[in-house]
Amino acid sequence: MSNNGYRAPQVCKLVDITYRQLDYWARTGLITPSIQSAQGSGSQRRYSFTDIVQLKVVKRLLDAGMSLKKIRQAIDILAEQMQTESPLADVTLLSDGSTIYAAHNPSEVVDVFRRGQGVFGIAVGPVQDELEGQLHELFPELEEEADAGAGPAKTAEAT
């Protein structure tokens, strides 16, 4: 990692955006270079590693179908809620293309645009495992019937 930061051409290559996009985002305050901003003609912007992480998040949100306007709103809301200058580096984001959810930890996911209204996710795999265990525990006879019934049916199909 460079102590002097990363110049615009390096950033564009790393983030897979055009110089024009990077320039526009910096000039409009979306993600600004934290090491050195442009100061007149010929000066170079210098971005930190954290800046690049945030730029890559913006790019991925755009690729997921989010508008730049909504991304700006999300950054502003998250910066305010989290009291940080780098809100896109300090949270896990999920998006369905129409909204952005922030996962501050594995048990808390919030809808950013509804100012932190909680949402919840269900991992289906553990639910299936739990259900299989409950079926076995509560109705062991069903498993025995299924095992007994499967044997002859397989034999009949094979002949």
**Residue ranges covered by each domain of the chain:** 6-119, 124-158
Q: What pLDDT shows up at residue 12?
A: 95
Among the listed residues 52, 100, 103, 60, the one whose alpha carbon sits nearest the alpha carbon of residue 76? 100
Alpha helices, H only, the chain: 8-15, 19-27, 49-63, 68-82, 124-138, 140-158
Q: What pLDDT shows up at residue 159?
A: 45
pLDDT one-digit tens code per residue, 92-141: 888 888 888 888 776 777 788 886 655 555 556 777 787 778 778 888 77
Q: Mean pLDDT score of the chain, rounded to an integer?
A: 80
| Band of residue 36 on the pLDDT scale cut at 50, 70, 90 | confident
As its CATH architecture, domain 6-119 has Orthogonal Bundle (1.10)
- Is residue 7 predicted with pLDDT exceeding 80? yes
Question: Whole-prediction pTM value?
Answer: 0.68
